[in-house]
Structure 1
């Protein structure tokens, strides 16, 4: 009998500085315990978390410290817009 394995969580951290960076970069990524650690650090530092398994899967394929490819610009722009709206709601000035 083939039992379904629980899905290992995945997490990817990106960074982007408007006016400085050409495109967002992947700065951390991992599965399982590493994903848990990335998420914990984000929460401890009040970094917004955006959940999207499909996008996470695509970002997992990008090497660390590499800019995201142009094919993902639209998806990442939607994430950044979501974070911008969250920051505005919470009274933060920066992304």
Structure 2
């Protein structure tokens, strides 16, 4: 697989939730390839936790910017918000937590 192909497989979406304005989280950024990398880098530099889920990212990048998350994706989004509640703001500690949870998901899928 070429570097270009690997780059184009990357997908990212950024969500925002304001309960006073919207009934569900809204897509504020989405893209593939280099745009996905920029979204992820911007989030990380800003201290925003990053959650990796290729399937969900694929769905979200197909939606329009400003669109509310459809009801069918609520459970997945709630799980992500719960996941973020465990973050401390300490990059090293948060990295360990991400790796632990990634391993738990991998084990659950292989069971």
Equivalent residue for 1:34? 35
SS for the counterpart of 2:28 is: strand
More helix by share: 2
Equivalent residue for 2:48? 47
Return the TM-score normalized by structure 2: 0.70
SS for the counterpart of 1:68 is: coil
5-14 vs 22-31, greater mean Cα deviation: 5-14
**Separation in 1 of the partners of 2:83 and 2:45?**
20
Return the TM-score normalized by structure 1: 0.80
**Residue 65, structure 1, aligned to residue 53, structure 2:** no
**How far did 1:90 drift?**
3.7
Q: Which blocks of at least 5 consecutive residues in structure 2 are unaligned?
A: 91-111
Q: Which blocks of at least 5 consecutive residues in structure 1 are unaligned?
A: none
**Separation in 2 of the partners of 1:58 and 1:33?**
18
